[in-house]
Amino acid sequence: MPIRPRVTLKTDLMRTLTQQEKRTIRIAAAVLGIFALLYGGLNCWKLFQARRSAYALLVREARDLKKELKPMNGVPNKASGSASWLSVYDSLSIAKDDTLGPLNNASSSVNNSNISALELDGSLRFFWLDYLEHEGKLYFIGKLKDKTSGAWVSCCITVEGLQRNLFVLPREKRVEQDEEGTSYETDEVPGLKDVYDDFDQVRRKAGIRTWKAKFVKRKYAFGEADVPKEASWLKVVYGFEGLLSSVHHNQSY
């Protein structure tokens, strides 16, 4: 016959709260509710006050702007179809004193061949207004003052003998051509003379007659993957008679 243990199971683990404990819980819940209500109301009041202050500031700025745009003479703009604030231009004063001297127009008696414009040291005071680059020349257009008549005349200064600067990056391996004219890469590292001779052939095809070149060290900072950050480049200086810069751009030798 099996022996059953004498175990008493308690199903009611929580005791019943007394009336005083229930009253304490109700009072605490009421206090917490009142605190939450007061805290939320205070935040809402602060937000309302902030928006009210911002609106009052906006109204005050609009009134000040309206006063600034009001014409000084107090006469409103009566033109039909135009805004009233445009009358502010009526109060602007225009200076009529000309401190630059008279302009040289078509009726002026100044002869272009008799203009005195150079300073005592041979320099030229020139107001540059625009420029044009054409066929290796720079043209600066502007005004200069004739020291004899005091008139301002138009002038164009031409700068000739400009030189292009080109930087040639040598290949890592030398390139040769087979009998059929197909180019292939070898294991030889090109020397300085190889790069110089290769560029000499290219410039002949481009029609460059006069040029100078030397090897210089330069740093590269444009982030191209196949261009080293620092290397020896062949710096070439030549005139504008050739088309090398446009035909062989971004090509290495």
34-38, 42-46, 97-101, 152-156: least confidently modelled range: 97-101
Q: What is the spatial distance between Cα 170 and Cα 189, in angstroms, rounded to a whole number?
A: 9
Q: And the tokens for 71?
A: 């014409």
* Count of CB atoms situated within 10 Å of the CB of 199: 21
pLDDT tens for each residue of 94-150? 666 555 555 555 444 455 567 888 888 988 888 889 999 887 788 999 998 888 888
Closest CA to 70 of 84, 60, 82: 84
Q: What is the spatial distance between Cα 145 and Cα 99, in angstroms, rounded to a whole number?
A: 13
Contact 137, 111 (CB under 8 A): no
Q: Is 232 exposed, middle or buried (0-12, 13-18, 19+ CB in 10 A)?
A: middle
pLDDT tens for each residue of 57-106? 888 888 887 776 665 555 554 444 556 666 666 666 666 655 555 555 54
Give the DSSP H/E element, type plus range, for residue 183: strand 183-185
Whole-structure pTM value? 0.41
Please, which residues bridge with residue 76 across strands? none
- Residue 247 — left, alpha, or beta (φ > 0 → left; ψ -120 to 50 → alpha)? alpha
172 phi and psi, to 5 degrees?
-75, -35
Return the domain boundaries, the chain: 25-75, 112-159, 164-247
Architecture per CATH, 164-247: 2-Layer Sandwich (3.30)
